[in-house]
Chain A
Amino acid sequence: MTMVGVSYSSIPTFFACDGEKLDQLLVRWLGKRDLEEAILVSFGFNPQYKSKDATLGHRLERLADMTEVVLVTTLRQETSDGPVRHFAAFQRMISAGVKILIHDNLHAKTFLFRRGDKVCWVVGSSNLTAGGLSKNTELNVAGYVVADYQAVYSQVKGIIEAARPL
């Protein structure tokens, strides 16, 4: 995947991406075997959304085998995609070791990945659903700068602390 963005070194430090580009980015990061941390905060989450060869739920299950995967979502009715509609898939993810947290007032869509000293952060409007990753007109911003990652992480930390396990 070619990422065009703002670059202060050999890789882009900041870029904007629509839902489809975000989908490609997620496939790439969730496929990294040596990932140390994956935090997905998404109002809507459809574990059955499939891109390339696997569903989102399956990707998280595979990843949770080796790394800490945290998914924060909501049980609210405004989203049709979530634990209520996809109960069995959420159960499978929990069994595989995915830490699923519920936040009653969540609307954020933020994704964080860390592998050693390499990081990736994404903040935007894309839910992890078919709408957010392929159908709607979305905008997300992302980057690989550690200090920016930490800035986003501090915001997400508050959300995680206010959430409860499913």
Chain B
Amino acid sequence: MVVRKEPVVLPTRIMACDGWILNRKLIGWLKDNTTMEITIVVYRYHDLVFDAPRIASTGQQGLIHALAKAADRGVQLTFVTRDPLTDNADPMRPEAISGWYRGLKRLAQIEGTRVLIHNNLHAKIYLVKRGDEKVFYAVGSSNLTYQGMGFRWEECNVVGYSPLEYQEVEKQVGRIISGREILGLAEWKLKASKNLANARFLAYLV
């Protein structure tokens, strides 16, 4: 006799969304006074302006400022991104590396904030913990760039709030962060500066 399993009939606990909706969610989480912890794991980031398809021209209007403000408020921030110097598939221009490094350096200077560089990362993960024990996760294709946040590319992400699902994603983030391919920003700069192949980039790492 063939035993037929019943289909899983459950209400949805996830929301599928494009980059723009994720952009709005992210703004909300960053501004929310009850947010306690934010973990961002992204292949690429820009110091993007959330409301326009461009990179911030001053230090007061972009992503880094918003993250720094949240961290100053006591939000525990972990920011993990890809080492642009090991990315042969989509290399970053040396001038762009300057902005990339400056933003991370600003974040790393805030007490309690962790900035980590991964040499093989392509994932895009956002984790948020609030003081009222509510949690949110987002996983998908959206990088933290204006292209990924609704201004150019067609993306697909899943946002959810189930604590069990959050734990499942958090476990994967733990695996990524504890891997051998990861370095703190200062260690990364030291290692990068010892590699002659990076000589043309070093002037931009200030």
Chain A interface (Cβ < 8 Å from any Cβ of B): 5-6, 8-11, 13-16, 18, 41, 43, 78, 80, 103, 105-110, 117-119, 123-126, 131-132, 135-141, 143-148, 150-152, 154-156, 158-159, 162
- In addition to A138-B122, A147-B12, A156-B16, 17 A-B residue pairs with Cβ atoms within 8 Å of each other are A6-B162, A8-B10, A18-B172, A106-B153, A107-B147, A107-B148, A109-B141, A110-B156, A125-B140, A132-B122, A136-B122, A137-B118, A139-B125, A146-B8, A154-B16, A159-B154, A162-B154
Tell me the smallest distance from the CB of B168 to a CB of chain A, in Å. Answer: 5
User: Which B residue sits closest to A103, measured CB to CB?
Assistant: B154
Tell me the smallest distance from the CB of A80 to a CB of chain B, in Å. Answer: 7
A contact residues around B154 at 8 Å (CB):
103, 105-108, 159, 162
Question: What are 15 A-B pairs with beta-carbon distances under 8 A?
Answer: A9-B6, A16-B169, A107-B147, A107-B154, A109-B141, A123-B157, A125-B122, A125-B139, A135-B120, A139-B172, A139-B173, A145-B10, A146-B7, A155-B156, A158-B18
In the complex, the number of residue pairs spanning A and B with C-beta atoms less than 8 Å apart equals: 145
Q: Please, how many angstroms separate the alpha-carbon atoms of A162 and B171 in the complex?
A: 36
A contact residues around B140 at 8 Å (CB):
108-109, 123-125
- Residue total for B at the interface (Cβ-Cβ under 8 A): 51
Whether B89 is near chain A, meaning CB under 8 Å from some CB there, is yes
Whether B134 is near chain A, meaning CB under 8 Å from some CB there, is no
Instruction: Return the CB mask of B1-43 against A: 1 if under 8 Å, else 0.
Output: 0000111111111111110000000000000000000000101
User: Which B residue sits closest to A104, measured CB to CB?
Assistant: B154
A148-B141 in contact given A6-B165, A141-B169 (Cβ < 8 Å): no
Partner of B176, one of A14, A131, A137, A147: A137
Q: Which of B5, B43, B141, B168 has the most CB of A within 10 A?
A: B141
A contact residues around B156 at 8 Å (CB):
41, 108-110, 123, 152, 155-156, 159
Chain B interface (Cβ < 8 Å from any Cβ of A): 5-18, 41, 43, 89-90, 118, 120-125, 139-142, 147-148, 152-158, 160, 162, 164-165, 167-169, 171-173, 176, 179, 181
Contact B122 A131 (CB under 8 A): yes
B contact residues around A14 at 8 Å (CB):
13-14, 160, 162, 164-165, 168
A155-B18 in contact given A137-B121, A140-B139 (Cβ < 8 Å): yes
Interface of A, secondary structure class, is mixed
User: Which B residue sits closest to A9, measured CB to CB?
Assistant: B8
Q: Please, how many angstroms separate the alpha-carbon atoms of A85 and B15 in the complex?
A: 35
